[in-house]
């Protein structure tokens, strides 16, 4: 079956709208889509969406499917040789090289241990290879990537919620950042890490994120106002 952006899609459907060879060469396929010869094939059920030449299937799913270029929060589960093994909630563990940190060399290795949380970017993600992570950007700088403080709090949520709060139109992170000074790392794999000034503020931010899943933008604004008022009263 041939489908268009905005349609409810099922595995095996063919995506229309990417017609010319130039569009196919520049198109970026996100979760739920893959190239098959000259066609773009749907691999999961959901709603087909796009932004410019980026296409993906928006669906409620529990298992994260790694996609190149996405940022994730993971747990280091093993270290040995030249790589760390990181659990990012996918079917396979991801690899993270000792050299994939800003300023790291063979003699100056990063201080990363089993159990540490890392905020990293996927540079390799395919069905035939294990995911590969880095904690630097294209210029070799860490930016916000790297190990996360154990003083913060990490929790899991649905992948759909993460994609919702990361949309520019969602007011949640903007309001919380303006009203409550904090650090936050949002992984598209459904893992979120938060560190605020106090435990009470950290819990308030976590509750706000989880409560936003089934709310519209106006409801999110009112919810944030209620949280701020409750904190100020205490």
**Phi, psi dihedral angles at 231 (to 5 degrees):** -70, -40
Distance (Å, rounded) from C-alpha 24 to C-alpha 118?
Answer: 34
Q: Please give the CATH architecture assigned to the domain spanning 71-148.
A: Beta Barrel (2.40)
As a CATH number, domain 2-58 is: 2.40.50.100
Distance (Å, rounded) from C-alpha 146 to C-alpha 130?
Answer: 20
What's the confidence (pLDDT) of residue 145?
93
What's the confidence (pLDDT) of residue 78?
92
The DSSP string of 167-180 is: STT--HHHHHHHHS
Beta bridge partners of 117: 75, 148
Task: Tell me if 169 sits within 8 A of 178, measured CB to CB.
Answer: no
Place of tokens 């691999």: 43
Please tell me which residue, 48 or 86, carries the higher pLDDT value: 86
> pLDDT, tens digit, for every residue of 46-63?
888 877 777 878 776 667
> pLDDT, tens digit, for every residue of 137-163?
877 788 889 999 999 999 998 888 898
Structural domain spans, the chain: 2-58, 71-148, 153-233
Q: Do domains 2-58 and 153-233 have the same CATH topology?
A: no
Prediction pTM value: 0.77
| Burial of 39 per CB tally in 10 Å (0-12, 13-18, 19+) | middle
- Report the top-level CATH class of 153-233: alpha beta
């Amino acid at each position: 079956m041939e489908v268009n952006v905005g349609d409810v899609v099922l595995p095996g459907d063919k995506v229309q709208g990417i017609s010319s060879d130039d569009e196919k060469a520049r198109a970026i396929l996100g979760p739920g889509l893959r190239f098959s010869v000259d066609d773009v094939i749907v691999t999961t059920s959901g709603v087909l969406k796009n932004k410019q030449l980026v296409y993906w299937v928006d669906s409620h799913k529990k298992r994260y499917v790694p996609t190149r270029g996405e940022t994730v929060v993971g747990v280091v589960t093993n270290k040995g040789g030249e790589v760390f093994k990181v659990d990012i909630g996918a079917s396979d563990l991801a690899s993270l090289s000792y050299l994939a940190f800003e300023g790291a060399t063979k003699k100056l290795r990063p201080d990363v241990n089993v159990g540490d949380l890392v905020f990293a970017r996927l540079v390799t993600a395919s069905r035939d290879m294990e995911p590969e992570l880095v904690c630097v950007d294209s210029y070799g700088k860490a930016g916000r990537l790297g190990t996360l403080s154990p003083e913060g709090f990490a929790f899991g949520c649905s992948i759909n919620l993460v994609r919702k709060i990361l949309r520019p139109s969602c007011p949640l992170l903007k309001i919380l950042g303006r009203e409550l000074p904090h650090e936050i790392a949002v992984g598209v794999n459904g893992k979120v890490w938060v560190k605020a000034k106090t435990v009470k503020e950290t819990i308030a931010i976590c509750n706000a994120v989880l409560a936003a899943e089934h709310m519209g933008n106006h409801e999110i604004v009112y919810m944030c106002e209620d949280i701020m008022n409750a904190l100020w009263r205490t």
